[in-house]
A and B are shown apart, each in its own frame.
Chain A
């Protein structure tokens, strides 16, 4: 027994040397993306007392907990391969359940400690760590076992929502009127007896359920739970109505259909779920509290968070796509034995051998990522429009005293536009942005400019932003030239994209120049530039990536 546990631990660490290093780093990215600019804006760390920060902290904690849980789950791999070892089900369950819990807790504690050292923030560690452990444990009975259909994921999402409410309750947020947007800051500094009770109860229940599920799974029994029945009904509906006889007009259409369902469909689904959920909660709370303000606040706040969800999920998918080559290995060790010659950009070999030209494939990629972006943005805009309609019908405007950070409808519109641009950029990270920006000759330009600017004693923030925009510009120009050389794109279309992109960037800088400042203008222009990049570089990247 001793030796089996030791062998399993050794196997785990030997297999996941890099995963265990990568995931905490990956989990840090969104936090640093948000917190470092905040710190730059207010160097006296006055943002520390902003009530907005509690919302950010709660969201960040949830996101790092989810990323870490996902990472540990992936690193543990499928339990199926252990079923034929001579160890009891209880041993399998407890080995993976508790070691995972410890790892998740340790990761989260490490990340939070890192932030505390790097940034001038004073966030509690104990509360989030307990939260992360509970999160991990409660998700175990859902995620273990073979069936990983959509419905199990929906159930997992519901559990996460419930846990998020608990997390917010730890901050004292949903329990009082005015909630998180009062000037008072409630961090989850102390763990109340209720918290401990929730923890112990959910841990033991989750442990019991996990053991049960693994035991069921091990002897090959399908537990005909309600979920399985829903799944069965859904399967019937799906096969009856959604997969009629398929015929596509062109290879582009077929490929974009495939690519949309294969890669991006999750983004619009997540955003739609977020919007629907926030509307449900808003209506519920509004009715319960008999308060129009509460309804407005939750509806707007929820949609606002869904905007964040759109960008964040696109970013996460973009990064997961980049590391796809290495991640795929951990998905199910028994199904994919061959990764010897794989490159980070390797596509599925079946789709790789379809006779489709690079240009058509690029168009299909752009269409599918564009569709994912536009559908999710449209859902958000519709939600705002509905809220505006409700406000108009009831003759009231946004309760501005409570939503200080939402200044006007215009502000929400700009934010949505920005999130649309960012989502498009992140969905194209794998086949366009990342490979193009990673070319060495572009970096030579960037570093030389950075050196010149620093020599002129410009402020560091400005230099970095300028260097970034130069990098984007160089990449954009070179990929435009390359696309013309290979005639991937008509000259007219290329000029049109350049014209439109520069017009939008100029308009943005002209309208909001004062608020953005020079750094902001550079960054916004760079992001618009980045969103233009896929049109020129996708075909070239596919051409390079197909052949190794």
Chain B
């Protein structure tokens, strides 16, 4: 068995004229947390639907646990815990009914764990889902996704529109899932704070393309904000090798720089400029400058 839980190669997908995904390659290693970030409509949900087998691959291939999610729904979905952004569980069921209903599909269902979560989340088993608040419904979804202790937890924008208390529940669940050996979490989000806290590896998806796919540490190590001071006033930013964004005026120009520090020093010397400030970049800044550049 390969080390990759999800193996997507050169995936393309279009809906009519809209190109939703374009030559996306993504490998999610076993264990750890994979964060998928992108603005609204970047194709995160479409990508996740491919992993679940709800979309077939128009170009390229998708394999999950080495299986094809389209042809083998039992083999793939049985090992995935999924929580969708919409949280569209049947509204007419009661909480205990939907737990009993969902349980029958998963042989690995852990009744004790489900009961524990039910208590932890303070859910009333007799209540109907349509009477639950949005946060409680999200907790029910989370319970359903976790209780069979899935090998792969897929969360599509898990905390969008939820209050901090419930977001904390969800994030704790992710932490707990990863502390168990060999379990993998893939979650998409546009709340970069969450991604920064939790992810081992991050992929930035924008307009159907992967702009960046690296371990979080590498990203932090390779991106800096640098301010250069030039001897003469410049009309436009002088080209700096490795810079992906620049702004400023006159003698001072600030660059977002990607690369080693030594190279930067040399490059600055080449431009006859002086490095006057240098600092780390937050994930927010990195994301925004990637999106703006493309």
Residues on A close to B: CB < 8 A? 239, 243, 245-251, 253-254, 257-258, 261-262, 338, 340-341, 348-358, 546-548
Q: Which chain B residues border A341 with CB–CB below 8 Å? A: 15, 46
Show 19 A/B contacts (Cβ-Cβ < 8 Å), sorted by A. A239-B94, A247-B104, A251-B104, A251-B105, A253-B104, A258-B90, A338-B86, A349-B86, A350-B88, A350-B89, A350-B90, A353-B54, A353-B84, A355-B73, A355-B76, A358-B73, A546-B53, A547-B53, A548-B54
Which stretch, B95-103, B222-230, B253-261, touches the partner chain A?
B95-103
Which of B77, B84, B97, B141 is A243 in contact with, Cβ under 8 Å? B97
Given contacts A254-B101, A355-B77, A548-B55, 17 further A-B contacts (CB under 8 A): A246-B96, A246-B99, A246-B101, A247-B100, A248-B103, A254-B104, A257-B101, A340-B15, A341-B46, A350-B84, A350-B89, A350-B141, A353-B82, A355-B74, A355-B76, A546-B73, A547-B56
Residues on B close to A: CB < 8 A? 15, 46, 52-56, 70, 73-78, 80, 82, 84, 86, 88-90, 92, 94, 96-97, 99-106, 126, 141
Q: Which chain B residues border A546 with CB–CB below 8 Å? A: 53-54, 73
Q: How far is the CB of A399 from chain B (nearest CB, A)?
A: 45
Q: How far is the CB of A460 from chain B (nearest CB, A)?
A: 40
Q: How far is the CA of A262 from the CA of B90 in the complex (A)?
A: 8
Q: Which chain A residues border B77 with CB–CB below 8 Å? A: 353-355
Which of B104, B106, B126 is A239 in contact with, Cβ under 8 Å? B126
Q: How far is the CB of A352 from chain B (nearest CB, A)?
A: 6
Q: Is the CB of A348 within 8 A of B100?
A: no
Closest to A236 in B: B126
Q: How far is the CB of A242 from chain B (nearest CB, A)?
A: 10
Which of A243, A254, A262, A340 is B94 in contact with, Cβ under 8 Å? A243
Q: How far is the CB of A540 from chain B (nearest CB, A)?
A: 13
Q: How far is the CB of B188 from chain A (nearest CB, A)?
A: 15
Q: Which chain B residues border A547 with CB–CB below 8 Å? A: 53-56, 70
Q: Which of B15, B74, B92, B106 has the most CB of A within 10 A?
A: B74
Q: How far is the CA of A258 from the CA of B100 in the complex (A)?
A: 11
Q: Which chain B residues border A250 with CB–CB below 8 Å? A: 104
Q: Is the CB of A245 within 8 A of B54?
A: no
Q: Which chain B residues border A350 with CB–CB below 8 Å? A: 84, 88-90, 141
Closest to A354 in B: B105
6 nearest A-B residue pairs (beta carbon): A246-B100, A355-B78, A355-B77, A254-B104, A248-B104, A547-B56
Q: Is the CB of B15 within 8 A of A356?
A: no
Given the known A-B contacts A355-B106, A546-B73, A547-B56, are A243 and B101 also in contact in the complex, defined by CB atoms under 8 Å? no
Q: Is the CB of B73 within 8 A of A356?
A: yes
Q: How far is the CA of A165 from the CA of B106 in the complex (A)?
A: 52
Q: Which chain B residues border A258 with CB–CB below 8 Å? A: 90, 101
Q: Which chain B residues border A251 with CB–CB below 8 Å? A: 104-105
Q: How far is the CB of B60 from chain A (nearest CB, A)?
A: 15
Q: Which chain B residues border A338 with CB–CB below 8 Å? A: 86
Q: Is the CB of B105 within 8 A of A356?
A: yes
Q: How far is the CA of A546 from the CA of B73 in the complex (A)?
A: 10
Q: How far is the CB of A482 from chain B (nearest CB, A)?
A: 15
Q: Which chain A residues border B106 with CB–CB below 8 Å? A: 355
Q: How far is the CB of A238 from chain B (nearest CB, A)?
A: 9
Q: How far is the CA of A261 from the CA of B97 in the complex (A)?
A: 12
Q: Which chain B residues border A261 with CB–CB below 8 Å? A: 92
